[in-house]
Amino acid sequence: MQTLTILGSTGSIGASTLDVVARHPQRFSVFALTANRQHPRLAQQCLRHRPRYAVLRDAGAAEQLRQQLRDGGADTEVLCGEAGLQQVAAAAGVDMVMAAIVGAAGLKPTLAAVAAGKKVMLANKEALVMAGNLFMRAVEESGATLLPIDSEHNAIFQCLPRPFTGLEQAGVRKILLTGSGGPFRTTPLQQLDTVTPEQACAHPNWSMGRKISVDSATMMNKGLEFIEACRLFAARPAQIEVVVHPQSVIHSMVEYVDGSVLAQLGNPDMRTPIAHALAWPRRIEAGVASLDLIAQARLDFQAPDLQRFPCLRLAMAAARAGATAPALLNAANEVAVAAFLAGKLSFARIAAVIESVLEQVDTAEPRDLDVVQTADLQAREAARRAVGRWSSQ
């Protein structure tokens, strides 16, 4: 029996994780579930899965959850705040942690799980993008097992040999990172200025949280994933090629020096990479339908259009620049996307906000977490100023 903490259980990845876990009651038990402030949803999940702990970042919401659980007759203990998140990520009774908080807010709890040497299943790509080499160094030092949940990185992981000691040693020529191109792949460019959050969140293939949905529409998601792949597989930016593949059936590929290209395919359903990581190195049923290649009939591929998707261009440049550039990019993007979702910034200006932050804020060598967090704060400040300038025009 493996015990599991889910950081961000009320989100899209959290719910898919609980779906897979519920299919295997003999194999997994839930130690803790956490969320930001969605206490009704978390209460439902606690009554169903009976974790030892539930954590809400928000103290007021935690009080309401306590009441709801008392009324429901659950003896789950409710904690709150950053300390509560870190406690259930690192607790001695936990074997595995699903890191599925969205954004930089997930960094510290995820790092707590890493430092405690857990098996960490990483969905929270922003944490890795932001902290960079500090994150991977912490994994090495603690002996934690890091398994990628992002479908592309999970696919790459599956296409690489084990044990993996580096791309050169493995004979890898390049990584082919696939992406659907999102809902605006063919939208006339002049219409991109007036698209709404609802249009941006209507992804053709995947159902996801709102922030990553907007990231997919700008292709910043692929940019963050580009940086994520550099970190996870110790790849140089030149070793990664982004390929647009609208059907999202191939989740990424690895090309070897002998010309072999290995791909991982499947229906676009996050329960596949989640089940892969939960049971690794074994395989378990995930509730995912068989891939029907005959019905699928064709798979298409294109080069990414960096004119249409400036966020992807900015992210690839940040990957090449290194230092705290990815942290600045990520923080500016979080502010810009939140402003777009709040109706305060046009879709097309998301990239403009990020570009202006990258031009204004100096990068530094990310020696420790303080440097990273200062970069994050400076970028947020500069991004808010840029949003203020553009939203009043």
Contacts with Mg ion by CB under 5 A lie at: 150-152
DSSP tag of 189: G
CA dihedral angle for residue 374, residue 379, residue 382, residue 388, rounded to 10 degrees: -130
CB of 336 to ligand NAD, least distance (A): 15
CB of 50 to ligand NAD, least distance (A): 18
What are the phi and psi torsion angles at 212 (to 5°)? -70, -25
Nearer to ligand NAD, 14 or 310 (CB): 14
Nearer to ligand NAD, 102 or 356 (CB): 102
CB of 221 to ligand NAD, least distance (A): 7
> What does each C-alpha distance from 210 to 205, 217, 326, 366 come to in angstroms?
14, 11, 21, 29
Q: Does 10 bind ligand NAD (CB under 6 A)?
A: yes
- Could you tell me if 41 and 69 are in contact, meaning their C-beta atoms sit under 8 angstroms apart? no
- Count of residues engaged in binding ligand NAD, rule: CB under 6 A: 26
State which of residues 81, 197, 204, 209 lies at the interface with ligand NAD (CB under 6 A): 209
> Which one of Mg ion, ligand NAD, none interacts with residue 209, CB within 5 to 8 A by kind?
ligand NAD
CB of 120 to ligand NAD, least distance (A): 13
Segment 149-168, which members bind ligand NAD (CB under 6 A)?
150
Nearer to Mg ion, 86 or 124 (CB): 124
Nearer to Mg ion, 227 or 375 (CB): 227
> Which one of Mg ion, ligand NAD, none interacts with residue 88, CB within 5 to 8 A by kind?
none
Tell me the C-alpha distance between 169 and 269, whole Å. 32
Nearer to ligand NAD, 100 or 318 (CB): 100
Q: Does 139 bind ligand NAD (CB under 6 A)?
A: no
> What does each C-alpha distance from 160 to 154, 283, 298, 337 come to in angstroms?
10, 17, 25, 34
Query: How much of the chain is helix, strand and coil, in % rounded to 5?
Result: 50, 15, 35
Nearer to ligand NAD, 152 or 255 (CB): 152
CB of 386 to ligand NAD, least distance (A): 22
Segment 19-48, which members bind ligand NAD (CB under 6 A)?
35-36, 38
- Residues 265, 271, 272: CA angle, nearest 5 degrees: 30
CB of 228 to ligand NAD, least distance (A): 9
Residue with the shortest CB distance to ligand NAD = 11
Letters for 109-128 (x = contact with ligand NAD by CB under 6 A, - = none) are: --------------xxxx--
Q: Which amino acid is at 293?
A: L
Burial of 227 (0-12, 13-18, 19+ CB in 10 A): buried
- 164 token code pair: 């993996």
Tell me the C-alpha distance between 201 and 347, whole Å. 12
User: DSSP E strands: which ranges in 112-239?
Assistant: 119-122, 145-148, 172-179
Q: Does 102 bind ligand NAD (CB under 6 A)?
A: yes
- Could you tell me if 45 and 33 are in contact, meaning their C-beta atoms sit under 8 angstroms apart? yes
Residues in the site for ligand NAD, rule: CB under 6 A?
Answer: 8-14, 35-36, 38, 57, 100-102, 105, 123-126, 150, 206, 208-209, 211-212, 270
